[in-house]
Amino acid sequence: MNGFLALLYKELLRFWKVAVQTVVAPVVTALLYLLIFSHVLESHIEVYPGVSYTQFLVPGLVMMSMLQNAFSNSSSSLIQSKITGNIVFVLLPPLSYLQFFGAYLIAAIVRGLVVGLGVWLVTLGFSTPTVPHPGWLLAFSLLACGLMGAVGILAGIWAEKFDQLAAFQNFLILPLTFLSGVFYSIHSLPAFWQAVSHWNPVFYMIDGFRYAFLGQSDIAPGFGLLVVAGSFVAISALSLLMLKSGYKLRH
């Protein structure tokens, strides 16, 4: 077991030990969204022809849960370690900044995927379980969880207090995910807000992921994947620079 694997193992074990909070709770939350929104809107909205609102909603909810949990995993692990001081346990060993980044990133992706799978499983009873484009599903899941895991690393390194992280989550992550077309197609928005949505990377994640399930989307999935991949590379590069310089971790 090299240092990277040990850190990955520790990060996985960390969230798995509190799986009720880190896996079961988000699945239940997503299920509640599904029950309420599909109950209220099922008979009123048809986003794409021949696609029921529930069918439309499920991929968005799965993706939203994955994103939020991937972000939570890396960010909360880092901030907890920084505040309790046990971050020294990973700063003292000979781990490189790449190993450090990789371990937190992959753990975040795994948490995202496990939660996503859980949400998808409980929604099976509500929508037709078909995935015509599994390749897109895999690509969007991995890159989107990776992107949010990297954002979580960034936020976890930057934040010095819990409320700073909460601000990051409530004023950036939550609006970006809610205003990304999880619950609606952005074509239903006024032109201005449609244009704004195109600057939101989360919109491309939801839209592309939905394409994998429904074969229909607002944007061509290839372009969406490019945007997500580009964002992932940019955020990862920034996180790696921060880690390499020791920003806020090594004074």
198 binds another protein (CB under 8 A): no
> In this structure, how many other beta carbons lie within 10 angstroms of the beta carbon of residue 241?
11
141 binds another protein (CB under 8 A): no
81 binds another protein (CB under 8 A): yes
Q: Which stretch binds another protein (CB under 8 A): 125-133, 192-200, 233-241, 243-251?
A: 243-251
For residues 56-67, b (16+ Cβ closer than 10 Å) or e, as one string?
bbbbbbbbbbbb
Among 17, 161, 187, 244, binds another protein (CB under 8 A): 17
150 binds another protein (CB under 8 A): no
Tokens of 114: 């496990």
Dihedral sign from CA coordinates of 151, 32, 23, 141? negative
Nearest to 103 by CA among 166, 231, 14, 168: 14
Nearest to 90 by CA among 81, 98, 160: 81
Give the start-end residues of each E strand in 140-220. Answer: none
CB of 250 to another protein, least distance (A): 6
> In this structure, how many other beta carbons lie within 10 angstroms of the beta carbon of residue 170?
11
Rg (CA), the chain: 18
7 binds another protein (CB under 8 A): yes
Among 96, 128, 170, 188, binds another protein (CB under 8 A): 96
CB of 133 to another protein, least distance (A): 38
Among 3, 102, 215, 230, binds another protein (CB under 8 A): 3
98 binds another protein (CB under 8 A): no
Among 31, 63, 67, 95, binds another protein (CB under 8 A): 95
18 binds another protein (CB under 8 A): yes
| Distance from C-alpha of 246 to C-alpha of 180, rounded to nearest angstrom | 33
Which positions lie near another protein, rule CB under 8 A? 1-3, 5-7, 9-10, 13-14, 17-18, 81, 84-86, 88-96, 246, 250-251
